[in-house]
Structure formats: C-alpha cells, structure tokens
Amino acid sequence: MSTAPNPYKISFVTGAAIVVANMVGTGVFTSLGFQVLGIQSNFALLMLWVVGGGIALCGAVSYAELASAMPRSGGEYHYLGRIYHPALGFLSGWVSATVGFAAPTALAALALGEYARRVWPGLNAPLLSAAVVLALALVHGFSTRAGSRFQVAVTGLKVAVLVGFIAVGLLAGEGQPLQLVPAAADWQVLLTPAFAVSLVFVSYAYSGWNAAVYLTGEIADPQRNLSRILLSGTAVVLVLYVGLNYVFLRSTPQAALQGQLEVGYIAANSLFGPVVGRLTGAVIAALRVSTISAMVFAGPRIVQSMGEDLPALRWLAGRSRAGIPVRALGLQTVLTLAFVLKPSFKEVLVYAGFVLNLFTFLTVLGVFVLRWQQPHLPRPYRAWGYPVTPLLFLLLSGWTLLFILRDKPTESLYGLGTLVVGLVVYGLVSRKKVTEKPAF
C-alpha cells in the first residue's frame, strides 16, 4: 500500500462544501421549538442565530491562523499536540476519531432512515442507514476526486433546496405578523438566562465550522485557501440559519411551535399542506446524505495523522495508490456501523460533547499560547480582530462548558473519565519513541 502523497488536491469549493455539510444537520430544524418556550420576542429569536453565527466566525478565524501556521491534516489532534503536549493531542484524536465522528455520522444516518420509514412504513430503517454509510465509504474510499465531486453535488443540492424553501416561505401568503424592529424590551431579552441557555444549543447547531482543518494537508494551497474555506462556509450557514428561522416564525404561530421537535416539518405543513409538507420534510431529511458524506470524508484523516506519529498505530497511516487513508476510513466505517446497529449509543454523545467542546476551547486558546511561544513563526493568515475575536469565542465556549458541567455533572464526569482511559492508551502506544516529528 502506497504512502505517497495524494496527487489530487481538494479545492476551495469542495472544502467549503464540507464545512457547510458538516454544519447543516438536525439542529436548525429542531431548536426553535424549545427556544420559543422561554423567548417570545421574534427579534431576540433571530438574534440567537446571528450571535451564534458570529461566535462560530470568531472560532473560524482562530482556527484559520493555526492552520496557516501548521498546515497539516488532523485538526485539534495536530494543534494541541504541537502547542501543548503530544498526550493532549492524542486525547483529542482519541475522542474525535471515534465518538466525535463515528457517533454523529451514525446519528445522521439513523435520522435519515427514520424519515424514510415515515414515507415508506415497511422500510427497514437501520438497514437503510447502514447501506448509506457503506455506500458513502465506498465513494470516498475509491477516489478523492470522485468523493470531492460527490460532496460538492450533494451539498449544492442541499443549499439549493434550503434556499428554495426560504424563498417560498417569504413569498407564500401573508404569513404571521412579525415585529422585528427591536423595542427596549427586546434588547433586554438578550440579557436573560433564557437567551443564554438557548445560545448554548444554537452553538451546537453551528458545530462543524472547523471541519476542513482535518483535511488541511490535502487542500490546495491551504495557507491561502483554508481561511477562505472556513469563513465562507460559516457565513453561508449563518445566512441560511437566519433565513430558515425567519420562515419558521413567519409561517407558523409560536404557539404551534412551542415544545415541538420537528419544526421544519411543522413549517412545511403550514406552507404546503400535509401531503406536500410531508414530502418536503422527507426531502430535507434525505439531504442528510451530504452531512454523512462530509463526516465520512473528514474523520479518517485524524486517525491517519495519529498513525503517522505513533509507531504502535502505524498500520492506520497506510494510504491507497490514490492517496486515500483506506485503513483509517475502514476503522471509522466499522465504528459507525456498530453505532447504527446499536442505537442506544446516543447517550454517549452527551458526554462526548463536553470533552469535544473542551478541546475546541483549548485549541482557540492555543492562538494566544502559540503567539507567545513562537512569535516569529510564519503566519500567512492572522486571526481577524485578534485578540477580540478569539476572546469572544473563549467566553461563550467557557460559559458553555460550565453550563454543561453544572447541568450534566454525571455525563461530564464520564467524559473526563474517557480522557483518563485515553491517557492509559496513550501510555501504551507511545512506549516506542517516534524518531522523527512531523514539521509544522
């Protein structure tokens, strides 16, 4: 099996498609039903998505600086290992490469299967979910070029459908009366605990803005393109999210949305009627293929980087003649299928979310640490708005971590326990010294 570098480089368009596809999942179609329970101001509800997108952009500019200074695949695994200590990088990779990618991929596949079962009641949903994961693994395992083109196509279709949904929602009928010009009371809502708690869940809906950094080494001219990929992909999603939530609020009375999980389905029913609404909901669900594809594409690069650095995991670094990390891809596919066939894994996501957020916090903090450690390190891209932008991200991210720790102490402790296990594994696999460290 060849270890030659991949001759095909991922373009700006493919990279942006991966970011958009990773971000646009279930969160935007489910969050509003719970937000309207504590917030009735339409201005404040839309500001949630504007503020959440702004924070994601602050994270994106921070990651872009690190990626330009250390242009290698692996994401947090690479950054944390180089800035702090290889053990911390390993722990990040340990969580991201398994639960961080495999479990969300399985969740998206299961959601797709469940929606399909509603349209065709006799369908075996888990079997369809597994078949979709396998098919996408084969596409991305065959050729990076073919996988890139497929990713651009399905993400483009997703964006086109969502833009069409927003356009119809803006043009159809008179809609609900929305007061968007803020009064003094609307501004005060932004300072309430309900707004802060809702912002935590909005930040989950924006997760995935950093997806392209896992593929840095395969992106064409990453020191120039990666910042553009992260920022443009995140900006597109911000516009889509604000537009979608405006349509949800315009098409459906708040009372009908309160406490409802399938907000997109309810809004589609209001706009198109039950028959077309059901079909529209199914089409939107089918677009999860792009999310699953993006995770199958990006996730294995973390395992591959770990294999390159740790002799005990060297077998995972192997690439095919096309330059694809097929062994790492195979491992992630097996883990994903295991989660698909045992759906009780969903509890894992709660505590995995805590440690994943912790690593993201440490990575953005690493922008400050690396500037202090190596002030003369070439940085083709410097974080726009530094130090304000990374500080804003750290403030929200730190508050989110404290919120989860307070609200979900058991799950948070399980997450920290996972790190202890990871340290033991790191001690075992790092006994054999690495003779050569990869360059920045």
Buried b (16+ CB within 10 A) or exposed e, 33-61: bbbbeebebbbbbbbbbebbbbbbbbbbb
What domains are there in the chain, each with its CATH number? 12-429 (1.20.1740.10)
pLDDT at 22 over 60: yes
pLDDT at 314 over 90: no
379 band by pLDDT with thresholds 50, 70 and 90: very high
Mean pLDDT of 298-319: 87
pLDDT at 278 over 80: no
370 band by pLDDT with thresholds 50, 70 and 90: very high
Higher pLDDT, 323 or 57: 57
pLDDT tens digit sequence for 84-112:
999 999 999 888 877 788 888 888 888 78
Highest mean pLDDT among 183-197, 300-314, 333-347, 379-393: 379-393
The predicted pLDDT at position 363 comes to: 96
439 band by pLDDT with thresholds 50, 70 and 90: very low
Highest mean pLDDT among 76-85, 99-108, 400-409: 76-85
Highest mean pLDDT among 67-71, 116-120, 266-270: 67-71
Vertex 424 angle, CA 422 and 427, to 5°: 110
Other C-beta atoms closer than 10 Å to the C-beta of 269 total: 20
The structure's pTM equals 0.86
2 band by pLDDT with thresholds 50, 70 and 90: very low
Cβ-proximal residues to 229 (8 Å cutoff; 6+ apart), any chain: 12, 15, 16, 19, 212, 219
Return d(Cα 281, Cα 319) in angstroms, integer. 39
Which tokens is 91 given?
A: 């722990």
Among the residue ranges 3-17, 46-60, 131-145, the one predicted with the least confidence is 3-17
The chain-wide mean pLDDT, for the chain, equals: 85
Cβ-proximal residues to 365 (8 Å cutoff; 6+ apart), any chain: 390, 394
Backbone angles phi, psi at 10, to 5 degrees: -75, 130
Return d(Cα 118, Cα 122) in angstroms, integer. 9
Asked if the peptide bond before residue 438 counts as cis, ω within 30 degrees of 0, the response is: no
121 band by pLDDT with thresholds 50, 70 and 90: confident
